Chain A
Amino acid sequence: KAGVTQTPRYLIKTRGQQVTLSCSPISGHRSVSWYQQTPGQGLQFLFEYFSETQRNKGNFPGRFSGRQFSNSRSEMNVSTLELGDSALYLCASSGSVGEKLFFGSGTQLSVL
């Protein structure tokens, strides 16, 4: 069974640009969560989606948004990029809301 797939693996952007990251959950999983990982702040929860609806949200500004499609695939978008947005963005899937999380390898975003 394939794991959680995140694309692209690496991304370089400049300040002010926007970026879209993609996540395909484990087959049959219907819930997708996103986390930001940085050396300074560690792993922080961004949001959780289930059945195309946002179920939970972390303490990030409105520049961070996401969505989930009918096939459970998810995207997250960051607008007006700042240097501090440089991080590893991790997607995790679970069978349903609140069940065990399985992470992908992440997208490493660098903002110059």
Chain B
Amino acid sequence: GENVEQHPSTLSVQEGDSAVIKCTYSDNASNYFPWYKQELGKGPQLIIDIRSNVGEKKDQRIAVTLNKTAKHFSLHITETQPEDSAVYFCAASGDTGTASKLTFGTGTRLQVTL
């Protein structure tokens, strides 16, 4: 089955700096890669996703890049703000190719300091 590794496990940045979180996956059949943000006491919130026919996708301060050859994808947050502090999870679709049966990474706790 699919295996997703996520790094780093914790990340501290100053407000205004950029943050990068990286994930690798194992299943060549994976072609859907969402990112979720989870705040304390809440469920994961979808913030951006990408399919394997696209190398990069951007939404305001958030971008995701995908290297299908190397089987890794990354989340980039620019101009970080205190409200970006949360746990971020990457996920991969595995052989379903869709959001069914997602395999998640272990999470990155992002702390944005003033």
A residues engaging B (CB < 8 A)?
4, 33, 42-45, 48, 55-56, 58, 90, 92, 94, 97-106
Q: Does B75 contact A (CB under 8 A)?
A: no
Q: A4 to B44, alpha carbons, bound, how many Å?
A: 12
Whether B34 and A101, one on each chain, are in contact in the complex, defined by CB atoms closer than 8 angstroms, is: yes
- Number of chain B interface residues as a range: 20 to 34
Q: A4 to B107, alpha carbons, bound, how many Å?
A: 22
Residue-wise interface mask of B (95-108) relative to A, using a CB-CB cutoff of 8 A (1 in contact, 0 not): 01111111111110
Within 8 A of A (CB), among B38-54: 41-46, 49
Q: A18 to B6, alpha carbons, bound, how many Å?
A: 34
Whether A101 and B43, one on each chain, are in contact in the complex, defined by CB atoms closer than 8 angstroms, is: no
Q: A22 to B9, alpha carbons, bound, how many Å?
A: 32
For residue A42, which residues in chain B have a CB less than 8 angstroms away from its CB? 89, 104-107
Main SS of chain A's interface residues? strand
* Chain B nearest CB, measured from A105 CB (Å): 5
Which of B97, B98, B107 is in CB contact (< 8 Å) with A99? B98
Main SS of chain B's interface residues? loop
Q: A106 to B49, alpha carbons, bound, how many Å?
A: 22
Whether B99 and A4, one on each chain, are in contact in the complex, defined by CB atoms closer than 8 angstroms, is: no
For residue A104, which residues in chain B have a CB less than 8 angstroms away from its CB? 43
- A sample of 4 more A-B contacts (CB under 8 A), given A42-B105, A103-B44, A106-B43, is A33-B100, A97-B100, A100-B34, A104-B43
* Chain B nearest CB, measured from A79 CB (Å): 23
Residue-wise interface mask of B (14-46) relative to A, using a CB-CB cutoff of 8 A (1 in contact, 0 not): 000000000000000000001010000111111
Q: A106 to B42, alpha carbons, bound, how many Å?
A: 7
A43-B89, A56-B96, A94-B99 known; A101 vs B46 contact (CB < 8 Å): yes
Whether A99 and B99, one on each chain, are in contact in the complex, defined by CB atoms closer than 8 angstroms, is: yes
Q: A4 to B100, alpha carbons, bound, how many Å?
A: 17
Q: A8 to B57, alpha carbons, bound, how many Å?
A: 37
Whether A100 and B100, one on each chain, are in contact in the complex, defined by CB atoms closer than 8 angstroms, is: no
